[in-house]
Amino acid sequence: MKKFGLLTLFIASLFLSACDKINNASRAMDTMLGGDFEVYVQGIENPFIVTNGKVTSVPDKGYYVYYPMIEGKERLVQSPIQITTIIKMD
């Protein structure tokens, strides 16, 4: 009976660590190259507009990096992946 419990615990921990690897891999593929984007960050009323640029994900650190125009200058912005929505503008 103890062997079954240990085996179940081992399989559950293996499954949970595999889910984390899959999540990080999918975030790594979130990089969007070239184009115009609206970037909405939860808690910030107006979206950031990225014109003819890119939005890059940094999954190890859990954020997106992009350069929107703010007050007439291109500025670096980092926003958490969990609260950021990116929409490609046509």
Q: Is the pLDDT of residue 42 over 80?
A: yes
Q: What CA–CA distance (Å, rounded) separates 67 from 12?
A: 41
Domain total for the chain?
Answer: 1
Least Cα distance to 81 among 21, 41, 33 occurs for 41
Q: Is the pLDDT of residue 75 over 90?
A: yes
Give the CA angle between residues 39, 43, 32 to the nearest 5°: 20
Split at pLDDT 50, 70, 90, the class of 15 is low
pLDDT in tens, 27-39: 555 566 678 999 9
Q: What is the pLDDT of residue 35?
A: 86
Identify the domain containing residue 24 by its residue range. 2-89
DSSP state of 76: -
- SS3 string of 3-68? HHHHHHHHHHHHHHHHHHHHHHHHHHCCCECCCEEEEEECCCCCCEEECCCCEEEECCCCEEEECC
